[in-house]
Amino acid sequence: MDVTDQKFEQEVLKSNLPVLVDFWAPWCAPCRIVSPIVEELAKEYNGKLQVFKLNVDDNPQTASKYGIMSIPSLLIFKKGQVLKTLIGAAGKENLKKGIEEVLGG
């Protein structure tokens, strides 16, 4: 479920499925609120969407590349492109809505 700067291209950008990436850090309280929701969504969308977490402290290169200024930031990629960005501790319904927009549901 974790992705690093080194594996980002292979795991996220080259994925056949859409990918949700949770940009987070261990010290971020809102990130800890969003984390269990992201894990639930990973189970719900298993087979339709891949879900990864990227620790911005350990992987600053990717966070910088995508202009991550505040966390949590959830980016949804499809075919290597960012199609949706959700910033802050969004509730499950908001996250599902964003995912459904990308999945075309």
Spatial neighbors of 40 by CB under 8 A, at least 6 apart, are 92
**All domains of the chain, ordered by start, with CATH?**
8-96 (3.40.30.10)
CB 80 within 8 A of CB 26: no
**pTM, full prediction:** 0.96
Angle between helices 29-44 and 92-103 (to 10 degrees): 50
| Residue positions annotated with a catalytic role | 28, 31
Helices (H), the chain: 8, 29-44, 60-65, 92-103
pLDDT by position in tens, the chain (length 105): 899 999 999 999 999 999 999 999 999 999 999 999 999 999 999 999 999 999 999 999 999 999 999 999 999 999 999 999 999 988 999 999 999 999 986
Nearest of 100, 2, 14, 105 to residue 56 by alpha carbon: 2
